[in-house]
Amino acid sequence: MTTESIPAEPAVAPHDPGPDDHSYAYDLVVVGSGPGGQKAAIAAAKLGKRVCVVERKHMVGGVCVNTGTIPSKTLREAVLYLTGMHQRDVYGASYRVKADITVQDLLARTQHVIGREVEVVRAQLLRNHVDLVVGSGRFVDPHTIAVSGDGGNPDTTVTAAHVVIATGTRPARPDSVEFGPRVVDSDGVIDLERVPGSMVVAGAGVIGIEYASMFAALGTRVTVVDKRPSLLEFCDPEVVDSLKFHLRDLAVSFRLGEEVRSVEANGAGTVTTLASGKRIPAETVMYSAGRQGQTDSLDLEKAGLNADSRGRIAVGTNYRTEVPHIYAVGDVIGFPALAATSMDQGRIAAYDAFGEPVRDLTALQPIGIYTIPEISYCGRGEAELTADAVPYEVGVARYRELARGQIVGDPYGMLKLLVHTETRELLGVHVFGTAATDLVHIGQAIMGCGGTVDYLVDTVLNYPTLSEAYKVAALDATNKLRAVARFGA
Ligand SMILES: Cc1cc2nc3c(=O)[nH]c(=O)nc-3n(C[C@H](O)[C@H](O)[C@H](O)COP(=O)(O)OP(=O)(O)OC[C@H]3O[C@@H](n4cnc5c(N)ncnc54)[C@H](O)[C@@H]3O)c2cc1C
Ligand SMILES: NC(=O)c1ccc[n+]([C@@H]2O[C@H](COP(=O)([O-])OP(=O)(O)OC[C@H]3O[C@@H](n4cnc5c(N)ncnc54)[C@H](O)[C@@H]3O)[C@@H](O)[C@H]2O)c1
């Protein structure tokens, strides 16, 4: 095991710690160095606490940096660049930066970014004097973590007054699926030997649909199967329709409302059998039907804790578990299971542990889906507002009518604002197309401050930008509101 300035401390009997209990080697031990664990560790270090992070070899930065967010988003960027997809509206349908894109072309960029991100995480921990213990942690008692050093590293034990569990999730692997070189989960998809000619994506959650759109852009014939009858049902239906239109245009087929019963593979290919009896042949299957909390090897019972059937840990206020000095943050506690929320959960848990005042996270949280094209929204949707009988008006801007939309070659993008017809408050923003995941934050900030559509009407925005979509959509909404006032009794 590699320890960076770790004194091996004997385990001590558990007792209720004060905030600065020096009978333990550390004030805080964090298990897992993903976004939740990192921010918990650094927040505590900034409060002057003695902090240690336990993480497995080759996983510094967590699932986020090594197998999840960062590889998938870098792969997407490589796909967009090499296929020339975003330039085709300008240069024509046959435009390509590279004709035969190989996995090596794609991986070069991914490995580079992962390497840099791991270095950033290591450097941040180091300069905040957070010790990194390399190995797998498990509870010995509520204040003691035994670390089994992997890759030839020795075992050790760390004790701490407080513990943050930030062990994340791994892909779920049912027995009915034969995993191997042709049947991969989202961890394995970044290690495929070549870009497949055909692929079944089993499970069209966010992971499945993001990878489906990347492979479709690379020219793979993709079939998406999901037992839910509709895709991304939490998103605006108009936006989802646009996405489906784009994906169909890239030869993606959808089998929605269909359950995957089993997946078999041999040297020649794979066959996915659905509950309806259909059998779908493909070179490769990506199985992305859910994830499982990484708690099975933590010996939670020795800390007085347990996990549910999906490996998730229940938490209360400020991410405290039922054992008051132990916190759990990030994907291991379930929804929303996002990198950004995990970071804030980690910070809040550390502040709570050491008596620093904390505020709850605001309810207004953005969702960003990195399909091709991308989707993002914040606030409320039309169906929800209608169900709650909230009167609203819609303002829409199409990228093709924005100068910047023409310049970047995005003719399909759109931004939709939902505005309260009486108070004129902004209730929701839904964006589809280039830079959607960045643009959404303008609407988020206005909504967060209780702003109205009039703020956008009265504000000058840079030109030519995609942000101008807000102005155009705001004018559209206010024109409609004015028409109601003019024509109404
Ligand atoms: C393919 C994919 C794409 C994604 N894309 C996005 C995205 O675009 N945007 C977004 O916001 N989110 C995205 N996510 C989700 C995001 O990655 C997670 O929300 C985030 O990584 C969760 O952070 P975490 O703190 O729970 O730790 P994780 O990143 O899950 O890391 C947990 C760490 O704990 C370690 N660990 C587990 N058990 C032990 C143990 N016993 N001892 C020591 N260490 C242990 C693991 O080795 C791992 O490194 C994506 C996820 C996947 C899989
Ligand atoms: N851009 C982002 O923010 C982003 C990207 C990727 C992942 N993530 C996070 O990672 C989490 C996990 O992603 P996920 O895609 O695994 O989530 P998920 O659990 O929502 O997706 C699983 C999908 O598989 C389907 N499914 C399950 N069993 C099936 C079967 N036998 N046959 C057919 N379909 C089946 C489910 O209906 C579901 O739609 C997400 O909740 C999200 O928070 C976020």
pLDDT given at position 178: 87
pLDDT tens, the chain, 489 aa long: 334 333 333 333 344 555 566 799 999 999 999 999 999 999 999 999 999 999 999 999 999 999 999 999 999 999 999 988 887 877 787 778 777 888 888 899 999 999 999 999 999 999 999 999 999 999 999 999 999 987 777 799 999 999 999 999 999 999 889 899 999 999 999 888 899 999 999 999 999 999 999 999 999 999 999 999 999 999 999 999 999 999 999 999 999 999 999 999 988 899 999 999 999 999 999 999 899 999 999 999 999 999 999 999 999 999 999 999 999 999 999 999 999 999 999 999 999 999 999 998 888 999 999 999 999 999 999 999 999 999 999 999 999 999 999 999 999 999 999 999 999 999 999 999 999 999 999 999 999 999 999 999 999 999 999 999 999 999 999 999 998 888 876
pLDDT given at position 15: 45
pLDDT given at position 489: 61
Q: How far lies 438's CA from each of 211, 217, 433, 460, 473, in Å?
A: 20, 22, 11, 19, 17
Is residue 374 within 6 Å of ligand 2 at its C-beta? no
Q: Which atom of ligand 1 is nearest to the CA of 65?
A: 29
Residues of the chain with CATH 3.50.50.60: 26-171+292-363, 183-289
Domain spanning 183-289, CATH class: alpha beta
Q: What ipTM was predicted for this assembly?
A: 0.92
pLDDT given at position 18: 56
First vs last C-alpha separation in the chain: 77
Q: Please tell us whether the domain made up of 26-171+292-363 is placed in CATH 3.40.47.10.
A: no
Which of 73, 145, 150, 167 maximizes ligand 1 atoms within 8 Å of its Cβ, making it the mutation to test the pocket?
A: 167
Q: How many angstroms separate the most distant Cα atoms in the chain?
A: 80
Q: What number of CA atoms fall less than 13 Å from residue 83's CA on the CB side?
A: 23
Which of 64, 72, 125 maximizes ligand 1 atoms within 8 Å of its Cβ, making it the mutation to test the pocket?
A: 64
Q: Cα torsion for 210, 215, 220, 224, to the nearest 10°?
A: -20
Kindly report the protein residue whose alpha carbon is nearest to atom 53 of ligand 1.
68
pLDDT given at position 59: 96
Residues of the chain with CATH 3.30.390.30: 373-488
Q: Which of 173, 207, 203 is nearest to 190 (CA)?
A: 207
Q: What is the DSSP string of 314-379?
A: ---GGGB-SSTTEEE-GGGG-TT--HHHHHHHHHHHHHHHTT----PPPS---EEE--SS-EEEEE
pLDDT given at position 478: 98
Answer CATH for 373-488 from 3.30.460.80, 3.30.390.30, 3.60.20.10, 1.10.240.10 = 3.30.390.30
- Report how many helices (DSSP H) and strands (DSSP E) the chain contains, helices first: 13, 22
Q: Give dist(CA 161, CA 304) in Å, integer.
A: 15
